[in-house]
Homo-oligomer: A and B are copies of this chain.
């Protein structure tokens, strides 16, 4: 860059002439007709020195990216919430219930006391020197905060950290990974990030140069991945999870999709696997994970393992095993397998979404590539230090013998058991609804039931200019105030219809929600009976 910059500064005209070849702009693709038409104004403005920044002159990759958070259902839900504040009598419900996101604390879940005690003490470490603090904080939260503060250069959470994160916190996370997997972790592989999503964006930016670079993504999938690939201008290469066998992942399907992409001129760089699955709730079996690892090795694919729900398991038949552990147990060492695993403080039993803590563990990639990742991280300086501390606590919670252990396990187990009950209540309720099928929720925070919509509903949706599942979710929202997201935002087998809903609401609330949905569903199916 230094060199490039000097080349430019020493002789602007010559260097720009060389660096920036003149060529006709290609018409950017956009999704909607009005924007497509607007694009042509670009040519008009290109006669001026600087085309003003308008919807038709901004980056078309931004236009083409879709955000489920911003979809029409959520926008409408927010509008209804405003109406409830001003004219509640206009609506047939008294509350908008956001079942569309896995945001535990916004739905009433209480934070884990030990974690918050440590964070408060690190934010205001003057407290650590005061006697009165012992009446307000648990002894081990004080000890933990002291040891963390001692290990941070400058002994403050107010300084920039190393761009990968604070050394001692990365060491603590590596230790936690070692305890989890039985294979010791390496702190140099850990990049602390603002939530898992910023790690995902960093990896997409690293791999994707053009629309010839493809990423194998499950259908259905977390829209974060399609949005990130679209922003980077790459190709989403879809593979289907098999709904009829509990959203299982078939390696033959991966192979088929890879071949098709290759035939279409796309180089597939990576495979995204979500385990436990979002929005599908399945947990992968070890044998399946081994097949996926062999497939990635054979095909030179980087495995992007979204393991943010690793603590959310609701079945006795399966358990979470990290891809890292499976690879190690297959005999692959640190450098033998290209794997990036994402984790975050937002899910699990802790559910600290607002803290934006996360990490990615990068193993197997060439050290020069890791250096480039480090450089990219340094362009953002560092992730927020409070989130970094919380991530280290999540990977090293109180252990047997610690003063907070009993209270901590009680809080954790209550949350996990409530989620367990929520998942089963949902599945039971949906299975009873006519035309609805629903797989078990083995893990994660969502379920993704399938609805067999009558033809009359499809026709009505079409005449309203909507996807059929959007039509269903919209009607559900307008009738009950319950917010869910249509399956079309996540991908689904054409002709099938789904919606995504979180299992987070408390048992009592959930009973009410499910009864309202059942009631709505019956009326809907009657109204649009074939």
Contact = CB atoms under 8 A, between A and B. Distances in A.
A157 B123 CA distance: 14
A227 interface: yes
Nearest to A166: B354
Interface stretch (A19-27, A425-433, A452-460, A505-513): A19-27
Contacts of A266: 16, 20
Given A382-B356, A387-B384, A264 B17 contact: yes
A28 B101 CA distance: 40
Given A1-B227, A105-B159, 19 more contacts: A2-B489, A4-B31, A10-B494, A16-B266, A22-B264, A53-B369, A55-B369, A67-B375, A70-B378, A103-B159, A103-B160, A105-B156, A113-B126, A120-B124, A132-B132, A158-B355, A161-B354, A354-B385, A355-B385
A25 B211 CA distance: 11
A424 interface: no
A50 interface: yes
A153 interface: yes
Nearest to A69: B378
A50 to B, nearest CB: 4
A330 to B, nearest CB: 19
Interface stretch (A56-64, A318-326, A440-448, A474-482): A56-64
Interface in A228-242: 228, 230-231, 235-238, 240
22 contacts: A1-B489, A5-B488, A12-B237, A16-B265, A19-B211, A22-B212, A22-B264, A49-B259, A50-B267, A50-B300, A53-B207, A53-B365, A54-B368, A59-B209, A101-B160, A104-B158, A106-B154, A120-B121, A158-B353, A194-B384, A197-B381, A384-B386
A461 interface: no
Contacts of A107: 154
A137 B269 CA distance: 53
A338 interface: yes
A491 interface: yes
A226 B353 contact: no
A66 interface: yes
Nearest to A124: B120
Contacts of A306: none
Interface string A339-382: 00000001000011111100000000110110010111011111
Contacts of A12: 237-238, 257, 260-261, 264
Interface in A53-112: 53-55, 58-67, 69-70, 101, 103-108, 111
Contacts of A300: 48-53
A135 interface: yes
A46 B210 CA distance: 14
Contacts of A6: 488, 491, 494
A354 B261 contact: no
Contact of A2 (B4, B159, B375, B467): B467
B211 A379 contact: no
A207 B2 contact: no
B206 A352 contact: no
A113 to B, nearest CB: 7
B379 A208 contact: no
A198 interface: yes
A103 B13 CA distance: 37
Contacts of A201: 379-380
A9 interface: yes
A107 B160 CA distance: 11
A216 to B, nearest CB: 10
A163 interface: yes
A16 to B, nearest CB: 3
Question: Which of A4, A29, A107 has the largest number of chain B CB atoms within 10 A?
Answer: A4
A400 interface: no
